[in-house]
Amino acid sequence: MTSPSVSHGSALRDVADNTPQTIGESLPTWDLADLFPTARLQDVAVALERIRQHAECFADTHKGRVASLTPEQLTRAVEAYERLEEAVARLSAFAELTFSAQSDEPNAGQLLQFVTEEGVSITNKLLFFTLEINRVDESSLAGWQKNAAVRKWQPWLRDLRVFREHQLEDDLEELFSEKDVVDRGWARLFDQTLAALRVSLPRQELTLSSALSRLSDARRQVRQETAAALSQALVTIRPTASLILNTLAKSRSIADKWRRYDKPVSHRNLSNMVEDAVVDALVAAVTTAYPRLSHRYYDLKARWLGLQRLQHWDRNAPLADERERYVPWKDAVSHVTASYERFSPGLGATVRAFLAQPWIDAALRPGKASGAFSHPTVPSVHPYILMNYHGRPRDVMTLAHEVGHAIHQTLSAKQGYLLSSTPLILAETASVFGEMLTFRAWLDKEQDPRRRRHLLAAKIEDALNTVVRQIAFYQ
């Protein structure tokens, strides 16, 4: 297969002069019917009410009695709990994805808010179950785990008890759970604000996603013009964004104080199943390496671009002698699939099957969330990928990255809802691995030394963005 980065056929056009819209390329949109057949609020309400009734029955059966369950009874209870949690999560995923695809649609916002509120109301009825498990002493827990059926759930029980010392009384736990609806509302406002943001240029008005893509344009004037317009647009939302950030930071601070976390980052680290000391060591190591990593590279890049000093709009610029090509969607799909197949035919077959389905939304449109993600949804369905495809080589890498997440999520689904949950740092390992498979296949096919240099430069910049830039944000 010919790599889309090196083919010189007519399918590849300059990105600067072509977009999916201008060349008439049809990009895929997803079909969420596998999650739920309709976005009608009445139908969703009926489904949630049915789940609520089962949750109330579960609570009537087990509340206040968890510690006295036999291993066999505990196993059946965990299985029932898993089914209920997954049922709520399925509708939550449907509402979240619907909103991500069209946050400017009032009905999508209404659906998300309704499902969020009702979902929390239902899961609060189940909250007692994990709280009571965490109050069981170690000797009783060990007695449960002598049973083979209970041992299946050992990873979930282990991860649950990590938060044991930060657990509060039941009424406070319910309060914080309900308050989470408010925090999510602030996050939703932020998403809507970014989706509605327009960047005004002399001859056109761009969404945030399209404006950010132009910061990788080969023409410095285009990058500088776009960066200035983007800054002006962001100034208009500064009061709203500042209020959202400060409100959520204060909310997190209150929760951390009540739950007795040592640092603002401790809760996040514990959720990632990593100790504060490990993160501190990572930050120290990367910070110490700034001069020989990012500083050194950007000094080189400034010379390659013929500049004395890089401006922020030059950070992701292609090299001076690079003529960036537009990569059609079908070529991006073919290249990513072939890269996975080269590593493992079985893995490649899984990728091919996934990409053949309407499970990706790559189209560019107003109101859609910027960036990219792979949503695992629930094990009984399948992941969905959202991205904004502009036809740049970086977008091919984004597809490879998100496919890495999706395949990891697909392969872990057999573990079930409670056991397939993956800490963020492990999840990113899977996605970056997929991205590197694609990069290595791309690099190995390229024989032109100049083009190999461009590919290596782009990969170095991606690594700096992934590691160094994120550490800088953290600090």
Domains and CATH numbers, the chain: 1-30+273-475 (1.10.1370.30), 34-162 (1.20.140.70)
pLDDT at 278: 96
Most confident of 83-92, 299-308, 363-372: 83-92
Contact 192, 103 (CB under 8 A): yes
Give me Rg for the CA atoms of the chain: 24
For range 389-402, the mean pLDDT: 95
pLDDT tier, 24 (very low <50, low <70, confident <90, very high otherwise): low
Instruction: Return d(Cα 192, Cα 203) in angstroms, integer.
Output: 25
Q: Quote the tokens at residue 78.
A: 């965990």
Contact 54, 84 (CB under 8 A): yes
* Per-residue pLDDT tens digits for 81-118: 999 999 999 999 999 999 999 999 999 999 999 999 99
**CA separation, residue 184 to residues 116, 213, 302, 341, 367 (Å):** 8, 28, 42, 40, 19
In the chain, the percentage of residues whose pLDDT exceeds 90 is 89
Instruction: Return d(Cα 359, Cα 32) in angstroms, integer.
Output: 8
Instruction: Return d(Cα 133, Cα 121) in angstroms, integer.
Output: 20
* Per-residue pLDDT tens digits for 330-348: 999 999 999 999 999 999 9
For range 25-31, the mean pLDDT: 94
Q: For residue 309, count other CB atoms closer than 10 A to its CB.
A: 8
Taking the alpha carbons of 160, 164, 170, 171 in that order, is the dihedral positive or negative? negative
* Per-residue pLDDT tens digits for 185-205: 999 999 999 999 999 999 899
In the chain, the percentage of residues whose pLDDT exceeds 70 is 95
Q: Does residue 231 carry a pLDDT above 80?
A: yes
Put the strands of the sheet holding 373-375 in their side by side order.
Answer: 360-361, 384-386, 373-375
Long-range contacts: 446-450, Cβ < 8 Å, 24+? 446/3, 446/5, 446/6, 447/6, 448/6, 450/321
Contact 326, 23 (CB under 8 A): yes
